Structure 1
Amino acid sequence: MSGRTADLFAPAKHRETLAEGAMILRGFALDRETALAAAIEQVTADTPFRHMETPGGHRMSAAMTNCGELGWTTDRRGYRYTRDDPETGRPWPAMPTVFRELATTAATAAGYTGFDPDACLINRYQPGARMGLHQDRNEQDFDAPIVSVSLGLPATFLFGGDRRADRPQRVPLEHGDVAVWGAAARLRYHGIAPLRAGSHPFAGEARINLTLRRAS
């Protein structure tokens, strides 16, 4: 279980509270961007991005891959975590140290100690790609927070309520921003509005998102 503690790492002017248990740490990942870029390239060279299929047969607009002990996947059989990449039958690549250290530090900065992620979903959004409002419910328990790292093009984060029908906040996310939510906010609906066209030195005409969770 992850406890709450005082914020030791992020200056107050760089924190934005979204709700009880949820905040944005502005620019928190910027000092690691070179290492993050190298790690993303290494993971995706081994296990490339792909457009997964929902249980209802729809092609997801964001391309995805995973690293860590477990990887999130979806197809006609449903949403789930697997230890192996269904496309290759091989284990997902190991989680790069820079991913794990960033997630642990960001969680602590947001007030959650002891976060040790075992799964990282990597999403690549290109212009027009989106993520509909959803809850992260495939994990074994909901004590650990979710850490989401934004890299590349800016995006609009939709942070909703406990019901899908609740009107979401529209939160701008820039390169290097990290969102953390847990505790009372852990099962809030969230998503990404359609990505606007543009170019960024980090990822070209794309946004890369790292979503780190404790799945087991």
Structure 2
Amino acid sequence: MLILSLLRRLSSAVIYWHGSWVIYSYDATAQGDGKLDAAVQTYDAEHLPVGVVKQALQERYGRFEYKLRLREMLRHGGKCLVLMDQGKVASFGWIRGWKPFRRRYGWLARDAFLLSSYWTMPDFRGKGLYGRLLAHTIAVARKADNVPIFIWTDPENHASQRGIEKAGFKCLGVFEVRQAFFRLINTYRKIRTSPQEACVQSSANGPDPSFEQNE
């Protein structure tokens, strides 16, 4: 498994990578400054996850991927946010620094935060924890820096889309992103204006006008 993971990463970094995402941005009018939640614990480069939190993250990502995520946090900043319920890990997600994503997604913004890898444990689903954690995340990110905040998900992940939209994020559209030849070639195109709409063609030669406010 470790070798396969390394080969996949090498292939996507050197040869060719592509993906399609529903991309959302923070909406100050709809979301305000978020809402801090006392049940959420924050981990960063100076306070790494330990105990049941570390165990839950390792079980979710695997030891190798977990170490890569910690390495990214140590090098580029970011935070891991964990919502606890009676001593148990109920939900978690990440605020990630923009530098590792700038070459691939620089057309969105020069600097930003990426909200990523949100997960609610099966026993705690259906209780609104995703929305609570997102609201807390916004509050933490806004306090850290006044930069755009993005979150994206797979076009087929309708549950995630509902949670993100319920939290007030603005849908920018569905985008196809491609990267090749040592990350030297980077292209994108807007294929739909929303996950529900029919395919809409968009030029890959320059930023969509809706992104200008985020740059």
TM-score, scaled to structure 1: 0.29
TM-score, scaled to structure 2: 0.29
Which protein is bigger by CA-based radius of gyration?
Answer: 2
